[in-house]
Amino acid sequence: MTADTKQVIMDTARAMVQARGYSGLSFRELAKEVGVKSASIHYHFPTKGDLGAALARRYADEAIEIFDAFLEASPDIGACMRKYTDVFRSALSNNNRMCLCGIMAAEHDDLPAEVRAEVDRFTDVNIRWLIKLLSRGKSKAAAGAIAQRALAIFAAVEGAQLVARGRGDIAVYDQAIEAYRTAGLLP
Amino acid sequence: MTADTKQVIMDTARAMVQARGYSGLSFRELAKEVGVKSASIHYHFPTKGDLGAALARRYADEAIEIFDAFLEASPDIGACMRKYTDVFRSALSNNNRMCLCGIMAAEHDDLPAEVRAEVDRFTDVNIRWLIKLLSRGKSKAAAGAIAQRALAIFAAVEGAQLVARGRGDIAVYDQAIEAYRTAGLLP
DNA sequence: CAAGGGCTATCTATCGATAGATAGGCGGAG
DNA sequence: CTCCGCCTATCTATCGATAGATAGCCCTTG
């Protein structure tokens, strides 16, 4: 029955970072939200960098699982891509939040090294998955062109999220994604 | 000969925000960089929100001038678009900085209302300009489709900048833009 | 022309709030 | 009895913001 405090801390912290960024995450606010004292957060995560890195690490790990499940569930490239963009959409629909690593990328310069490393890994995870998806069928397609396109898709999706968040209007995200598809950027 | 302190403050502050975000801007650090005391910053900009709003306002105003000059200088849509993407590229080449309003969009929730208003205006400025550009020639093109495409282009460019910055590699930006062009998102 | 009042731009010094972090104690479970 | 998990209490550093003083300049007025 023990609602593992450490997990509750991580869940709450993730939500707060997705809303206000890494620099906007405060131990005191986080503790209050969780229902403990800030010293208890430090017990589980000695430094803020430890917490941030743990968040980004779990985020990237979960992304691998979720995305790979898409590939296994459907052989259709377009269907998988729609599921992919829907994942980023769901962050916005959850109180106008952003991708954890997208918002952290904006804070790049202020991030502790261990956090930055995990954020980078999230980007890698996405691009590798997109490459895997785009490579389906095209057994002999130029690897370079596919990698470039995967990178562009990831960037475009993150950008759509960023702009839609700024507008506070999820319809902006939907419109951008639709335009990407119309233009042929998305399969 | 008088290097107007207020202008120096704004120039320095803009560079700092483009590097570390609005929340990363500190009156003390800014003052040290400028060579005055933090109280002097408050003299010119009573609150941090005043400063942030002034920065975003000038940024949007300058964007209007720069972008419109592109339209007047060349009748070619592709050439104008290249100049447009080069503007965002130059932020990255200036010590891996970001678009002022792009990085502020990520901090959306923590922004004072007056700052957020100017950030929003920058987005408007961009989209309106892109609509003007895309409308060239296509006198009867569906306005809705063009507006949607303009929004998507802006989002994609901001995203390319965000991801490239995270990677600390301007080549990432160039690749994404090139892929947008290849896919047909950019004219 | 000279004197004085007020304005501009800056300084020193300090405020209360909040940041992350730490030392040490207490209570319950194994 | 020990150790885990959380607590109280506190520290240092920094944040934005303010008060009050001052030096220099311009404008007015006698």
* Residue B11: both structure tokens together: 């120039």
Please name the nucleotide lying closest to B5, CA to C1': C9
pLDDT of residue B1: 32
The pTM of the full predicted model, rounded to 2 decimals, is 0.94
Q: How far is B99 from chain A (nearest CA, A)?
A: 10
Q: Please provide the average confidence, as pLDDT, over all residues in chain B.
A: 94
Residue A162: what pLDDT? 97
* A contact test, residue of B162, B172, B178 with most A CBs within 10 A: B162
pLDDT digits (tens, 9 = 90+) for A25-36: 999 999 999 999
- For A153, the closest chain B residue by CA position comes to B176
The pLDDT-based confidence of B4 (bands split at 50, 70, 90) is confident
Residue A139 has pLDDT above 80, yes or no: no
pLDDT, chain A, mean: 94
**Is B100's pLDDT higher than 70?**
yes
pLDDT above 70: percentage of residues in chain A: 96
Average pLDDT over residues A140-161: 92
Which residues, 6+ apart, have CB-to-CB distance to B88 below 8 Å?
B99, B157, B158, B160, B161, B173
Nearest-angstrom CA–CA distance, B123 and B143 = 18
Q: Has residue B187 got a pLDDT over 60?
A: yes
Q: Which nucleotide is nearest to A49 (CA to C1')?
A: C20
Percent of chain A with pLDDT strictly greater than 90? 89
3-state secondary structure labels for all residues of B135-171? CCCCCCCCHHHHHHHHHHHHHHHHHHHHHHHHHCCHH
Query: What pLDDT score was predicted for residue A140?
Result: 65
Q: pLDDT over 90 for what percent of chain B?
A: 90
Q: Chain A 36-95, CB below 8 Å of chain B: which residues? A: none
Residue to test with chain B: of A162, A174, A178, most B Cβ within 10 A: A162
Alpha helices in chain B (DSSP H): 5-20, 27-34, 38-44, 48-73, 77-93, 100-106, 113-134, 143-167, 170-183
Report pLDDT digits (tens) over B37-73.
Answer: 999 999 999 999 999 999 999 999 999 999 999 999 9
| pLDDT in the model for residue B140 | 65
- How many Å does it take to go from CA A94 to C1' C24? 41
Residue B144: per-residue pLDDT: 87
Which pLDDT belongs to residue B5? Answer: 87
Q: Is it the case that residue A111 has pLDDT exceeding 60?
A: yes
> Which of the residue ranges A113-122, A139-148, B17-26 would you say has the lowest mean pLDDT?
A139-148
The pLDDT-based confidence of A3 (bands split at 50, 70, 90) is low
What integer is the mean pLDDT of B6-34? 94
Q: How far is B78 from chain A (nearest CA, A)?
A: 16
Q: Lowest-pLDDT range, A63-67, A140-144, B76-80?
A: A140-144
Per-residue pLDDT tens over the stretch A39-60: 999 999 999 999 999 999 999 9
Could you check: is the Cβ of residue A38 within 7 Å of any atom of nucleic acid strand D?
yes
pLDDT band, very low/low/confident/very high, at B141 (cuts 50, 70, 90): low
Does B134 lie at the interface with A, CB-CB under 8 angstroms? no
Question: Residue A116 and residue A108: Cα distance in Å, rounded?
Answer: 7
Q: How far apart are CA B112 and CA B16, in angstroms?
A: 18
pLDDT of amino acid A177:
98
pLDDT (0 to 100) of residue B143: 84
pLDDT bucket at B142, cuts 50 / 70 / 90: confident
Q: Which nucleotide is nearest to B36 (CA to C1')?
A: C10
Check residue B23 and report its DSSP letter: T
CA/C1' separation A24–C25 (Å): 32
- Does the CB of B1 sit below 7 A from strand D? no
Residue lying closest to nucleotide D9, CA to C1' = A39
What average pLDDT score do residues B157-169 get?
A: 96
